């Protein structure tokens, strides 16, 4: 009996007879009638035996209705037949036909009753194996799964050599799956698949069901399934699932056992290779050196100054220059990335395979961080990046970030209270590089979401020092003005303005914005701000990014950036005791005040130190879980909390310049 689907055998018309594999044609007896030959001819006597042909005629009528699809009339005719002729040779077939029709009509209880009638009344019926199969199948359809299982076991005991055995095995799997017993469902479906070997459609459907069971089953069920799957194509798949499950749970010994079982369970090279890769990963994990942390930082090249600052903070955090504090001593293994992906990747491989580090801090630059994060994920080593690259933690569950992102900076900068001050029109003056373009688009999008407008946008070469053209374009001084506009501007002057502009050298600026956003470093801002004043762009709020945070900005252009605001994740003059202590140590050790990079390096290494001490982590997987479970670790840059994607949840604050110092804005 071919096929699996319940509906294909019971619910849809015409399927039961096909799968039961029998047809029986019932000859129709034509009753001869005598007609009058002439008006006065005598009546011809009825032949002997006509009365006995009545049952056949009644059965033939019911068959005719069924074949036409007139099921209600067929049921009525079959019912009349068995009521009147219960002992006739076709009575059992009439009950069979009624059960078939009721199944087609979806009246499964009535169909079940008819099959049970056959089973109890006609023990010599030649198609009794099919009847008992339909009883088991209908019990399944009626959600009586336990009874369906019982009937199926009885069937197998009595008819184990019957052609319907494959269907019964599938039915047993279906019923056990409905009962929530995945192990027994797997057991009977895998036996059914052997029975249906050669039937491509059925084999494919059973293969899909078996693979789904493996993927959704827990460890206890998988261990039982492995016994039933021994020697089959599903054995390596189950052992692989078990090995990866144990690996995720950081149960390395049991993961190793499962991986070895995977290699032994098959001769297929692809599975053997997967098993060997798992074994190599476990050996790598078990050989990790607790307390050893790798650093991938740019110490030479154009990013060297930033890498050195991070490393300074990390070294203070390890206690290299004083007391070690609580927790275990940490060993640092430092690799210079030179700000490039190639040496960074080489350093990563060395840290993981040779130095056996527990975790890695870095890198900084976006391009290098992306390449290293992808490889670290593949190697299974936790990495805490210090990059602003959006989406870096989406690489995988081993990738974390402890640094402000551009989106968080812009969100904090465009705080609703800025709009409450009446500032709704903005200009954007940005460097034509990846950093400037990214912040320009981010700022513009966020601004439009909040209902603000961009009145002017200009870019400049990152190496330029003269911003006159850009400022003139933003204020309408660059291109000749139409005479009507010039005339209108003259008419709008007050007497005082008219007196002060008797002999103007160039037209007045048209300033249609309340603030200017400049996403660049403090060195460039120190050149731009004085030129804005020189070109009469006055009383405008200047806004920037965290790159503005430097005492040098005040030293070189303090008079021109008064009231400017920019986001920050660390402020050495916040007044908090831990920040003051760190700043004093940093000044003593490096003869400079720390910035956000140094503070972030300090926070990251002290966080790792705390996790290893409190959680007693032994493997990289345990460290990853500890980082995800961390809640409100107090840091210089705020409390450290990672979301499920590994993204730090810290929010920046705003700084402003007041007099000769930076202070927290409001």
Which pLDDT score, from 0 to 100, does residue 87 have? 87
Residue 459 has pLDDT above 60, yes or no: yes
Q: How confident is the model at residue 281 (pLDDT cuts 50, 70, 90)?
A: confident
Which pLDDT score, from 0 to 100, does residue 641 have? 92
Q: How confident is the model at residue 27 (pLDDT cuts 50, 70, 90)?
A: very low
At 98-154, the pLDDT tens digits run 999 999 999 999 999 999 999 999 999 999 999 999 999 999 999 999 999 999 999
At 545-578, the pLDDT tens digits run 999 998 899 999 999 999 999 999 998 888 789 9
Q: Which two tokens stand for residue 240?
A: 């692989």
CB within 8 Å of 37: residues ≥ 6 apart? none
Task: Please check whether the domain covering 6-193 is classified as CATH 3.40.50.720.
Answer: no
Residue 23 has pLDDT above 60, yes or no: no
Over residues 502-508, mean pLDDT: 58
CB neighbour class for 593 (10 Å; exposed up to 12, middle 13-18, buried from 19): middle
Which pLDDT score, from 0 to 100, does residue 386 have? 95
The answer to whether residues 652 and 404 touch, using CB atoms and an 8 Å cutoff, is yes
Which pLDDT score, from 0 to 100, does residue 486 have? 55
Distance CA 506, CA 489 (A): 13
Distance CA 331, CA 315 (A): 10
Strand pairing report for 515-517 and 541-543? parallel
Using only C-alpha atoms, the chain has a radius of gyration, in whole angstroms, of 42
At 385-420, the pLDDT tens digits run 999 898 999 999 999 999 989 999 999 999 887 888
Residue 42 has pLDDT above 90, yes or no: no
Which pLDDT score, from 0 to 100, does residue 21 have? 33
The answer to whether residues 233 and 270 touch, using CB atoms and an 8 Å cutoff, is no
Q: In 3D, which of 497, 492, 535 has the Cα closest to residue 516? A: 535
Q: HEC string of 190-247?
A: HHHHHHCCCCHHHHHHHHHHHHHHHHHCCHHHHHHHHHHHCCCCCHHHHHHHHHHHHH
Over residues 346-351, mean pLDDT: 96
**Cis status of the peptide bond prior to 580, with omega within 30 of 0:** no
Q: In 3D, which of 572, 568, 635 has the Cα closest to residue 601? A: 635
Cα–Cα separations (whole angstroms), residue 351 to 46, 72, 380, 483: 108, 80, 12, 70
At 64-97, the pLDDT tens digits run 999 999 999 999 999 999 999 988 889 999 999 9
Q: What is the pTM of this model?
A: 0.62
Phi (first) and psi of residue 492, to 5 degrees:
-85, -10
Which pLDDT score, from 0 to 100, does residue 196 have? 94
Residue 618 has pLDDT above 60, yes or no: yes
Which pLDDT score, from 0 to 100, does residue 553 have? 94
Which pLDDT score, from 0 to 100, does residue 573 have? 83
Which pLDDT score, from 0 to 100, does residue 19 have? 32
Q: In 3D, which of 136, 128, 54, 69 has the Cα closest to residue 96? A: 128
Which pLDDT score, from 0 to 100, does residue 16 have? 30
DSSP for 48-117, please give it.
TTTGGGHHHHHHHHHHHHHHHT-HHHHHHHHHHHHHH-TTSTTHHHHHHHHHHHHHHTT-HHHHHHHHHH
Q: HEC string of 466-497?
A: CCHHHHHHHCCCCCCCCHHHHHHHHHCCCHHH
Which pLDDT score, from 0 to 100, does residue 49 have? 42
What whole-number percentage of the chain has pLDDT above 90?
Answer: 68
Q: Which two tokens stand for residue 72?
A: 């209600």
Q: Which helix (H) or strand (E) is 293 found in, with range?
A: strand 292-297
Residue 319 has pLDDT above 80, yes or no: yes
The answer to whether residues 394 and 410 touch, using CB atoms and an 8 Å cutoff, is no
Which pLDDT score, from 0 to 100, does residue 572 have? 84
Over residues 605-612, mean pLDDT: 92
Distance CA 518, CA 525 (A): 7
Which pLDDT score, from 0 to 100, does residue 382 have? 96
Which pLDDT score, from 0 to 100, does residue 8 have? 35
Q: Could you tell me which CATH class the domain 408-475+511-568 is placed in?
A: alpha beta
Q: In 3D, which of 407, 441, 428, 432 has the Cα closest to residue 567? A: 407
Q: In 3D, which of 160, 130, 183, 133 has the Cα closest to residue 24? A: 130
Q: Is 461 helix (H, G, I), strand (E, B) or coil?
A: coil
Q: How confident is the model at residue 497 (pLDDT cuts 50, 70, 90)?
A: low
Residue 328 has pLDDT above 90, yes or no: no
Distance of CA 616 to the CA centre of its chain: 30
**Angle CA 196–201–204, to nearest 5:** 80
The answer to whether residues 177 and 148 touch, using CB atoms and an 8 Å cutoff, is no
Over residues 52-56, mean pLDDT: 77
DSSP for 578-617, please give it.
HHHHHHHHHHHHHSS---HHHHHHHHHHHHHHHHHHHS--
Biggest CA pair distance of the chain = 145
CB within 8 Å of 650: residues ≥ 6 apart? 404, 569, 637, 638, 639, 640, 641
Distance CA 551, CA 96 (A): 96
**CATH code given to domain 290-404+591-647:** 3.40.50.2300
Mean pLDDT of the residues in the chain: 86
Query: Pick the residue with more confidence: 487 or 614?
Result: 614
């Amino acid at each position: 009996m071919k096929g699996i689907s319940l509906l294909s055998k019971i619910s849809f018309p015409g399927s039961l007879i096909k799968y039961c594999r029998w047809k029986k044609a019932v000859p129709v007896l034509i009753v001869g009638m005598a007609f009058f030959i002439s008006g006065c001819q005598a009546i011809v006597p009825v032949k002997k035996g006509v009365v006995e042909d009545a049952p056949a005629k009644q059965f033939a009528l019911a068959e005719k209705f069924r074949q036409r699809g007139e099921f209600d009339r067929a049921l009525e005719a079959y019912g009349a037949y068995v009521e009147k002729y219960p002992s006739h040779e076709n009575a059992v077939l009439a009950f069979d036909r009624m059960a078939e029709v009721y199944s087609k009509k979806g009246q499964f209880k009535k169909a079940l009753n008819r099959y049970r009638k056959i089973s109890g009344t006609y023990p010599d019926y030649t198609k009794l194996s099919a009847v008992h199969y339909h009883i088991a199948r209908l019990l399944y359809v009626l959600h009586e799964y336990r009874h369906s299982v019982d009937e199926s076991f009885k069937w197998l005991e009595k008819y184990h050599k019957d052609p319907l055995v494959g269907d019964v095995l599938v039915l047993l799997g279906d019923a056990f799956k409905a009962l929530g017993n995945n192990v027994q469902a797997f057991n009977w479906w895998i036996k059914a698949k052997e029975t249906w070997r050669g039937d491509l459609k059925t084999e494919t459907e059973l293969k899909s069901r078996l693979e789904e069971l493996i993927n959704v089953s827990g460890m206890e069920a998988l261990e039982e399934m492995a016994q039933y799957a021994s020697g089959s194509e599903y054995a390596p798949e189950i052992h692989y699932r078990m090995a990866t499950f144990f690996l995720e749970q950081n149960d390395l010994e049991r993961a190793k056992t499962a991986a070895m079982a995977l290699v032994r369970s098959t001769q297929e090279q692809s599975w053997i290779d997967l098993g060997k890769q798992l074994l190599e990963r476990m050996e790598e994990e078990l050989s990790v050196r607790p307390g050893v942390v790798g650093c991938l930082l740019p110490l030479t090249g154009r990013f060297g100054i930033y890498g050195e600052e991070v490393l300074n903070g990390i070294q203070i955090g390890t206690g290299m220059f004083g007391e070690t504090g609580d927790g275990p001593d940490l060993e640092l293994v430092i690799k210079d990335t030179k700000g490039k992906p190639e040496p960074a990747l080489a350093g990563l491989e060395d840290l993981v395979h040779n130095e056996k580090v527990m975790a890695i801090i870095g890198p900084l630059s976006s391009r290098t961080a992306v390449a290293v994060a992808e490889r670290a994920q593949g190697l299974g080593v936790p990495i805490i990046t210090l990059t602003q690259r959006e989406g870096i933690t989406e690489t995988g569950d081993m990738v974390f970030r402890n640094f402000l992102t551009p989106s968080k900076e812009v969100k904090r900068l465009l705080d609703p209270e800025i709009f409450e001050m009446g500032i709704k029109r903005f200009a954007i003056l940005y460097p034509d590089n990846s950093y400037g373009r990214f912040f320009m688009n981010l700022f513009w999008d966020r601004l439009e979401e909040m209902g603000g407008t961009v009145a002017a946008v200009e870019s400049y070469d990152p190496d330029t020092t003269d911003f006159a053209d850009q400022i003139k374009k933003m204020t309408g001084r660059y291109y000749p003005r139409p005479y009507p506009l010039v005339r209108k501007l003259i008419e709008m002057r007050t007497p005082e303005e008219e007196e002060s502009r008797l002999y103007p050298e160039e037209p007045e600026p048209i300033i249609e914005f309340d603030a200017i956003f400049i996403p660049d470093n403090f060195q460039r801002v120190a050149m731009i701000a004085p030129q804005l004043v020189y070109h009469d762009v006055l009383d405008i709020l200047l806004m920037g990014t965290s790159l503005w945070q430097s005492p040098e900005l005040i030293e070189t252009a303090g008079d021109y950036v008064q009231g400017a605001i920019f986001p920050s994740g660390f402020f050495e003059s916040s007044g908090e005791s831990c920040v003051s202590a760190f700043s004093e140590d940093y000044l003593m050790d490096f003869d400079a005040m720390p910035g956000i990079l140094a503070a972030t390096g300090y926070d990251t290494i002290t966080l790792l130190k705390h996790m290893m001490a409190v959680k007693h982590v032994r493997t990289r997987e345990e460290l990853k879980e500890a980082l995800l479970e961390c809640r409100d670790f107090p840091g210089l840059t705020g409390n450290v909390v990672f979301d499920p994607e590994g993204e730090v949840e810290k929010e920046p604050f705003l700084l402003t310049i007041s007099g000769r110092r930076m202070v927290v804005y409001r």
